[in-house]
């Protein structure tokens, strides 16, 4: 089924005449930046965005984000602020928190984190002490920077130990994760990823955490929107803490959120501010509230299901044309192509796709043998192209020219042809922003 996720309802484009090229005040005050905003709009219009962590926020979200709520300081939480004049923004933040709790069935929500990284930082600091042991997914197998990278705060403050996917299948084997947990005896287990193409067994993670006396934190930065739309199992009933970003599959403003059990509510709120942040971004929080409302709309559920259906269709067509995908496919919104059979490396492929208007990103995967900077994989995802209204048929087209590019990598004629095909697809599926003028 192909759903027109752009038509009607909460995710609709703004009314005719609303112009999403740079606005008049900005044009007058700073033509240079206004021009760059227009240029970036053109780039987004002319590019097929296949980076799985990127998406298109709705016009309503962008309006809340570009508002005068930017002007208000409100350190603290609603009803307990360090500043006066918070009577209106308290209501904004309460709406955001209530909608977050309702959407995910969570006991408590903190909507202040400026990004996914700040959400993780605050969630860790709510219950961990410097030097505590944390078990997280190996970074070159799908784990995130904030899951213990030595160049990140997480790896400097806490002692992270990795768990691994099974060598034979590339899948997480929960018996192996349990064995690692029994060996490491962590204070916290982190489940979540940036590039694992399968769903996680949250109940099994919770059992293991209970057995070793650890907290369970699920970082659903990537798949929160799928959970919100009912297209993916929810970690919320199983985890002590759930963190996520609002700009990936949620289609909201740039930001982060922490959900937790009521017993940790106070610790999480204090950890966010004053722990790791100062004043909250009220314009961002208003935009998050708008996003949560959008996510409750049946149209968003259709969108989330379409993201997964599209990923499955893209993967099926790639496999049909003999491309190797890690774990052999996908259950969520993303997949990783093993480039070794093509004799290609991630960096060169990423750059070549940039030239033909298709954005992908070079990515490591288990046992790939490349380097983190030049790995042997590329990661693809469907959230953004689905937001443009594309369905399974278009995924077949995209898979077709991806394979053509990989097979004809040294042939400029193939590149030129793929450029045409990707541009044609972009023209058929415009961004969900109406525009009346082009500078």
Ligand X SMILES: *Cc1c(COP(=O)(O)O)cnc(C)c1O
CB of 183 to ligand X, least distance (A): 24
**Binding range to ligand X, per CB under 6 A, among 83-91, 189-197, 260-268, 362-370:** 189-197
d(CA 138, CA 136): 6
Q: Taking CB under 6 A as the rule, does residue 421 contact ligand X? A: no
DSSP-derived 3-state class of residue 212 = helix
Q: Taking CB under 6 A as the rule, does residue 154 contact ligand X? A: no
| Residue closer to ligand X, measured from CB, 120 or 327 | 120
Full 3-state SS string of 356-391 = CCEECEEECCCCCCCCCCCCCEEEEECHHHHHCCCC
Are 246 and 259 in contact by the 8 Å Cβ rule? The answer is no
Per-residue interface string for the shown chain with ligand X, residues 17-56, x marking contact by CB under 6 A: ------------------------------------x---
Q: Taking CB under 6 A as the rule, does residue 194 contact ligand X? A: yes
- Interacting residue with ligand X among 108, 144, 251, 345 (CB under 6 A): 144
Quote the radius of gyration of the chain (alpha carbons, Å): 22
Per-residue interface string for the shown chain with ligand X, residues 352-381, x marking contact by CB under 6 A: ------------------------------
d(CA 71, CA 376): 46
- Interacting residue with ligand X among 146, 249, 361, 387 (CB under 6 A): 146
Per-residue interface string for the shown chain with ligand X, residues 249-278, x marking contact by CB under 6 A: -------x----------------------
Return phi, psi of residue 73, to 5°: -90, 135
CA neighbor of 195 nearest in space, from 368, 317, 342: 368
d(CA 273, CA 144): 23
Residue, CB closest to ligand X: 116
CB of 314 to ligand X, least distance (A): 20
Q: Taking CB under 6 A as the rule, does residue 117 contact ligand X? A: yes
- Burial (CB count within 10 angstroms: exposed 0-12, middle 13-18, buried 19+), residue 187: buried
Q: What angle do CA 208, 115, 374 make, to 5 degrees?
A: 80
| Residue closer to ligand X, measured from CB, 153 or 342 | 153
Contacting positions for ligand X (CB under 6 A): 53, 115-117, 120, 144, 146, 192-194, 219, 221-222, 245, 256
């Amino acid at each position: 089924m192909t759903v027109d996720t752009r038509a009607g309802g909460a995710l609709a484009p703004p009314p005719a005449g609303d112009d999403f090229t740079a606005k008049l005040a900005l044009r007058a005050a700073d033509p240079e930046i206004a021009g760059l905003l227009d240029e970036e709009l053109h780039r987004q219009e002319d590019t097929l965005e296949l980076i799985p962590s990127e998406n298109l926020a709705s016009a309503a979200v962008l309006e809340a984000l570009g508002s005068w709520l930017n002007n208000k300081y409100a350190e603290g939480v609603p009803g307990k602020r360090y500043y006066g004049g918070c009577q209106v923004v308290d209501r904004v933040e309460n709406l955001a928190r209530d909608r977050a709790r309702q959407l995910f069935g969570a006991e408590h929500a903190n909507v202040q984190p400026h990004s996914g990284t700040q959400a993780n930082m605050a969630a860790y600091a709510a219950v961990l002490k410097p030097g505590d042991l944390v078990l997280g997914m190996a970074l070159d197998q799908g784990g995130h920077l904030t899951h213990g990278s030595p160049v990140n705060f997480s790896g400097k403050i806490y002692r992270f130990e990795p768990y691994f996917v099974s060598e034979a299948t590339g899948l997480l084997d929960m018996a192996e994760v349990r064995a690692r947990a029994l060996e490491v005896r962590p204070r916290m287990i982190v489940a979540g990823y940036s590039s694992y193409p399968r769903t996680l067994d949250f109940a099994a993670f919770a059992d293991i955490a209970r057995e070793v006396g650890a907290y369970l934190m699920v970082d659903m930065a990537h798949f929160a929107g799928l959970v919100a739309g009912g297209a993916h199992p929810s970690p919320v009933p199983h985890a002590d803490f759930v963190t996520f970003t609002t700009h990936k599959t949620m289609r909201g403003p740039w930001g982060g959120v922490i959900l937790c059990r009521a017993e940790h509510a106070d610790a999480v709120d204090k950890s966010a501010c004053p722990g790791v942040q100062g004043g909250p971004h009220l314009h961002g929080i208003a935009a998050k509230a708008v996003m949560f409302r959008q996510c409750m709309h049946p149209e968003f559920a259709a969108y989330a299901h379409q993201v997964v259906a599209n990923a499955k269709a893209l993967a099926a067509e790639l496999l049909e044309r003999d491309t190797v995908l890690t774990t052999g496919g996908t259950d969520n919104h993303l997949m990783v192509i093993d480039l070794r059979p093509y004799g290609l490396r991630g960096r060169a492929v990423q750059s070549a796709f940039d030239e033909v208007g298709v954005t992908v990103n070079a990515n490591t995967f288990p046992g790939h043998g490349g380097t983190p900077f030049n790995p042997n994989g590329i990661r693809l995802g469907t959230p953004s192209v689905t937001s443009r209204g594309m369905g399974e048929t278009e995924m077949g087209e995209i898979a077709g020219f991806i394979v053509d590019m990989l097979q004809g990598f040294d042939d400029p004629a193939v590149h030129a042809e793929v450029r045409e095909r990707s541009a044609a697809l972009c023209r058929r599926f415009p961004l969900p922003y109406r525009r009346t003028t082009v500078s």
